[in-house]
Amino acid sequence: QVQLVESGGGLVQAGGSLRLSCAASGNIFGVNVTGWYRRPPGLQRTLVATITRGGATNYAESVKGRFTISRDNAKNTIYLQMNSLKPEDTDIYYCLHASVSMNYWGKGTLVTVSS
């Protein structure tokens, strides 16, 4: 099992920045991909950004150039630096840790961007 705890969400004005954190504990040795997803109301989770064990990153088109995913292996923590935030970035953001056989999700952290 892997436990994930997200933090860093909140209310920010458009153009502002936030940094989300996701701390992992438990059996993380089989995790190959970590990342962030968002879920608009009534819809499925959609990709925001991922980073593989090898360091390859992938971003949704809507956040390229504004968001940066990173990790601190010593702290078992991944981050999402969110700059130039827009009202349409408002959503609940979920942390993902994926192994070959299982996806682990955090409970989510709310990001609200006011215009």
pLDDT of residue 65: 98
pLDDT of residue 27: 85
**Average pLDDT taken over every residue of the chain:** 94
Q: What is the Cα Rg of the chain in Å? A: 13
pLDDT of residue 42: 84
- Mean pLDDT on 4-17: 97
What is the separation of C-alpha 50 from the centre of its chain, rounded to a whole number of angstroms?
8
The angle formed by the CA atoms of residues 18, 86 and 41, to the nearest 5 degrees, is: 90
Q: What is the pLDDT of residues 85-112, one digit of tens each?
A: 999 999 999 999 998 889 999 999 999 9
Q: What is the pLDDT of residues 12-28, one digit of tens each?
A: 999 999 999 999 999 88
- The DSSP secondary structure of 20-80, one letter per residue, reads EEEEEEES-TTEEEEEEEEE-TTS--EEEEEEETT--EEE-GGGTTTEEEEEEGGGTEEEE
Confidence class for position 31, pLDDT limits 50, 70, 90? confident
Rounded to the nearest 10°, the torsion over CA 113, 36, 80, 104 is 130
pLDDT of residue 1: 87
